[in-house]
Amino acid sequence: MKLTLTLLQLVIGLAVTILILIQAKGTGLGRTFGAQMYHSKRGVENLVFKSTIYLSAIFVLTAVIAQILS
């Protein structure tokens, strides 16, 4: 059971890392202090954002479960 949780955490961790890197692409100081003050997420950008949140929550949940079982 613990091995399964560890492998699940590894896969979810890699997925979260990739999703975060996809989101970070194209953002920088120019966009932070630029004229565009608000940018709404639509389509795929919104899907990536929500997927990152859900996978991060699942990652934390599996970490807590792994600690309880050990």
> Does 42 have pLDDT greater than 60?
yes
In this structure, the number of other CB atoms found within 10 A of the CB of residue 32 comes to 8
Question: Six-digit token pair at 68?
Answer: 């309880």
CA 40 to chain centre: 18
Structural domain for 60, as ranges? 2-69
Q: Using an 8 Å Cβ cutoff, are 6 and 66 in contact?
A: yes
- Residue 5's pLDDT is what? 92
* Global model pTM greater than 0.85: no
H/E stretch holding 9 reads helix 2-24
DSSP 51-66: HHHHHHHHHHHHHHHH
Count of domains observed in the chain: 1
Tell me the pLDDT tens digit for each residue of 50-61.
999 999 999 999
In the block, tokens 């399964």 appear at 4
- Residue 2's pLDDT is what? 85
Tell me the pLDDT tens digit for each residue of 3-38.
999 999 999 999 999 999 988 765 544 454 555 555
